[in-house]
Amino acid sequence: MHKRLAWLGGLALAAALLLFWQDPLYRLGRNIEIYGRVLQELALNYVDEPDLDKLTTQAIEAMLAELDPYTNYYSAMEVTQAQLEQSGQYAGIGVVLLPWENKVICRRVLPGSPAQKAGIEPGDLLLEVEKKPVHDLSLEQIQRLLQGMPGTSVTVTVLRPATQERKTYTLTRAELETEAVPYSAVLPGQIGYIPILQFTRGCAEGVRQHLVQLKTQATLKGLILDLRGNPGGLMNEALELLNFFVPKGELLLQTRGRMPEANQSYYAQLHPLEPTLPLVVLIDEASASASEIVAGTLQDLDRAVIMGRRSFGKGLVQVVRPLVENTQMKITVSRYYTPSGRSIQLQGRLSGEPRTFRTKNGRLVREGSGITPDIEQAAPLPPSLLARIEPYFFYFLARQRATIPRDSASLVVELPKTTLVETLIDSLASYPQAYAQEAEALLERFQAQVRTLPEVSQKADEVARLLAAHRLQTLRSQADYLRLLVGQLRAYHGLNIRGEYAFLAARDPLIQEARQLLLDLPRYEKILRP
């Protein structure tokens, strides 16, 4: 009897220990202690004196790499900068940079900024910041050097491609506000067009003001919201924008996470500005986060037709948590879910078929792949190839900037001459690295390994030539699209960002297709029915 009691007692103790071992708080404490002991052993006994700060940062980054791409460890300065960028306000010189190979191009110069007032132009090459060559710095390091407290100064050196003139400027940083809604227009047929660059603070109010102004110009028959290239931003701005078009009380969005406070439902709070105006929303692979909330919600509520290419698939919610020594981390706490209940987050290769959901009218929609448009547009070029050639085209045009007319309406409505585009493509033939992709990078590493094997090396060189010729042929086959791209970039060079969007409003085939759809109300309504 005593033996049996002892056996049962031992079993109960083992079970209690097993439960204790599996307790989350116990496991948390045990792992913290293990890491502390490892760090202590290294600090006291390693053969060389280790950099403990560096080891800790590397350990944290490796740990977070096992989770999602948006849970990150940041210094206080990095977190502050991210918050400033989201708000749309920051102190800097007012340039948007475009990295390309070992160059950094000024893609945009904000109107009224210190850079614009000093004479820096789009297309100028940034050579040095605070006497540090940019080719020795990452893009993040360059941006940190350019940005700082208002009233402080920073010295930059740029090269003007058209004249090869090198200039050094000492600029005083100023508080700048990026313009989320740079342009709007009434297109033929009384169709409104509003592009939104990012959901920064005040974005929704900017859209409202543009919409009210468009309504004073015409009785709108439809509205196009252009979210292509919009990386997202503030969720509240997206929800406020949705409330312009969705009835009060309608479910707009849900967030769900492991902790109870992460589970939230968001409803339209106000009576809508335009409850019945037909809408088309344009998206592409660079439309993410808040952009996907807008597109996905309007799609689920059958309130808009979505056109373009599948969106990025960023449906995770992050919050910033303070740590110690002024460090912080951004941690994913929940996921976004559109009114139908589907997740926006891209899930990669899924096991089996992706889950399907139904819109308000009963149309089928799927989750796990961002937002799939109702009317899909094929990508004229692989996104990775386009990302390589656009900076080259922009730089090429910067070298010819003197020949681009300023303040000319022709830049808005006329396509560039075919010969200009042909010249641009021909120039790539002698500069294959300008449009190299991942395959070339892999081949280059292989070539480095086989240099001592003449026959293999010769075949590898032949493959490199074939790849370059194939890329060039791909570009030639899309000459019409490249003509549009060159026209867009020329319009920006000549008339800044408003000119760029005025050109797109007049010439972009997807915008014209959206306009035609809004003028064909029976077809528009048919798309929104199951």
Which has more confidence, 221 or 58? 221
Which has more confidence, 18 or 394? 394
**What per-residue confidence (pLDDT) applies to 456?**
75
Q: What is the mean pLDDT of residues 90-111?
A: 86
| pLDDT surpassing 70 at residue 517 | yes
Please, are residues 254 and 266 in contact by the beta-carbon 8 Å criterion? Answer: yes
- pLDDT classification of 350: cutoffs 50, 70, 90: very low
Q: What is the pLDDT of residues 139-164, one digit of tens each?
A: 888 988 998 888 899 999 999 998 89
The token pair that represents 508 in the structure block: 């972009």
Contacts 24+ apart (CB under 8 A), 139-143: 139/97, 139/99, 139/104, 142/97, 142/104, 143/81, 143/97
Angle at 193 between CA 272 and CA 302, to 5 degrees: 50
Helix, strand or coil for residue 170?
strand
**What per-residue confidence (pLDDT) applies to 101?**
77
**What per-residue confidence (pLDDT) applies to 332?**
84
Distance between CA atoms of residues 460 and 395, nearest Å: 30
Say how many C-beta atoms besides its own lie within 10 A of residue 309's C-beta: 21
DSSP annotation of 66 = T
Q: What is the pLDDT of residues 180-214, one digit of tens each?
A: 999 999 999 999 999 999 999 999 999 999 999 99
Which has more confidence, 401 or 222? 222
Which has more confidence, 173 or 403? 173
Distance between CA atoms of residues 249 and 509, nearest Å: 36
**What per-residue confidence (pLDDT) applies to 17?**
47
- pLDDT classification of 397: cutoffs 50, 70, 90: confident
Placement of tokens 């900068």 in the chain: 81
Q: What is the pLDDT of residues 437-486, one digit of tens each?
A: 777 777 777 777 777 778 877 887 788 788 888 888 988 999 999 999 99
Whole-number percent of the chain with pLDDT over 70: 89
Q: Percent helix, strand, coil in the chain (nearest 5)?
A: 45, 20, 35
Which has more confidence, 122 or 55? 122
Q: What is the mean pLDDT of residues 80-92?
A: 58
Which has more confidence, 426 or 353? 426
The token pair that represents 431 in the structure block: 């500069």
Q: What is the mean pLDDT of residues 351-375?
A: 89
Mean pLDDT of the chain: 85
Which has more confidence, 72 or 412? 412
| pLDDT surpassing 90 at residue 23 | no
Which has more confidence, 89 or 427? 427
| pLDDT surpassing 60 at residue 5 | no
Q: Which range scores top for mean pLDDT: 58-62, 247-251, 311-315, 344-348? A: 247-251
Q: Compute φ and ψ for 294, nearest 5 degrees.
A: -60, -50
Least confident of 62-76, 250-264, 361-375, 391-405: 62-76
Superfamily of domain 89-177: PDZ domain (2.30.42.10)
The token pair that represents 363 in the structure block: 């149309």
| pLDDT surpassing 70 at residue 10 | no
DSSP annotation of 273 = S
- Could you state, in order of their start, the residue ranges of all structural domains in the chain? 89-177, 185-379, 383-510
- pLDDT classification of 12: cutoffs 50, 70, 90: low
Tell me which amino acid residue 111 is: P
Domains 89-177 and 185-379 share a fold: no
**What per-residue confidence (pLDDT) applies to 160?**
92
Distance between CA atoms of residues 523 and 515, nearest Å: 12
CA-based nearest residue to 56, from 71, 36, 31, 81: 36
Superfamily of domain 185-379: 2-enoyl-CoA Hydratase; Chain A, domain 1 (3.90.226.10)
**What per-residue confidence (pLDDT) applies to 80?**
57
Which has more confidence, 246 or 319? 246
Placement of tokens 């390994």 in the chain: 449
